[in-house]
Structure 1
Amino acid sequence: MEEQTIFEIIHNMDKVTNNLIIQWGKLFNEDLGISHILVLAHLQHHGNSRPSDIAKALGLTPPTLTHLSEKLVQKQLAVRIVDEKDRRIIYLGITDKGLDIVQKANQDGQILRRNLFEKLTEEERQQLLKIYEKLTGFL
């Protein structure tokens, strides 16, 4: 495969991803980024978690997670919880308001995906799925 073709593929993947992020931001309209929603979704699925564990699971740096969690706490979407046995350990937990935001983000994401993927035929969607599954196996 020619190198230029690889870069064209990567460039087009980036364009699609960036466009999805922009469209989702317009649809969601909550002054939160995708990384904020990923943190909340992690808390929803895994319960109270140490920030360092969340950062590792999501591939974020600890300072980035600190910045994200600050906004989530400020907006009352998450809370900091001190470990009763070791007060040096702090967990992040999701609030009911945070759960509602994750649900709204998922609903808006489904609308966006539906609008995007209905432009493809069923055969094209299946091909795309197989390609992504194959590529995921190499990562």
Structure 2
Amino acid sequence: MEEQTIFHIINNMDKVTNNLIVQWNKVFEEDLGVSHILVLGHLKVHGKSRPSDIAKILGLTPPTLTYLSEKLVQKNLAKRLVDDSDRRIIHLGITDKGIEVVQRANQKGVELRKRLFEQLTKEERKQLLTIYEKLNKSL
């Protein structure tokens, strides 16, 4: 019985996450996916980075990051930067337009989650917060 309950929790968590992504894609009108925004978010927080490092941190394959980077560069959201000390090393950096796009993407995500959590009562939100805090401490 306990195993079945855990399965239902995991299944429902996945459904919520997937539905949030679908809803975010509908309201964020930029022809970019969540993975593109994750790359831009990384660049915004960490500054210019080697693509291989970004791929490792985000859990992406190098070919996937190459694909994502190409679109970001084409849309002028990111730029390739040559390392001054070794011209063979390429970094990826975020542009001002990329910063603006990632900020709008994050705002849309906040709005979606706010609407989602407004479906819960005040007591349910408190319980959920307690649960998330407990799970975060265990990780």
Give 1:65-84 correspondences, 5 Å limit: 65-84=65-84
- Return structure 1 stretches of 4+ with deviation > 4 angstroms: none
Question: How many residues are matched?
Answer: 139
Match of 2:35 in 1: 35
Match of 1:131 in 2: 131
Normalised to the residue count of structure 2, the TM-score between the two structures is 0.93
Distance 1:73 1:105 in 2: 17
RMSD over aligned CA atoms reads 1.3
Distance 1:52 1:131 in 2: 35
Q: 1:63 to 1:138 in 2, by over 3 A?
A: farther
Distance 2:126 2:62 in 1: 37
Normalised to the residue count of structure 1, the TM-score between the two structures is 0.93
Partner AA of 2:60 in structure 1: L
Distance 2:112 2:97 in 1: 23
Give 1:1-139 correspondences, 5 Å limit: 2-139=2-139
Partner AA of 1:82 in structure 2: V
- Cα offsets for 1:18-77 (capped at 9, x unmatched): 110011111102111111101101101111011111112212222221111111111111
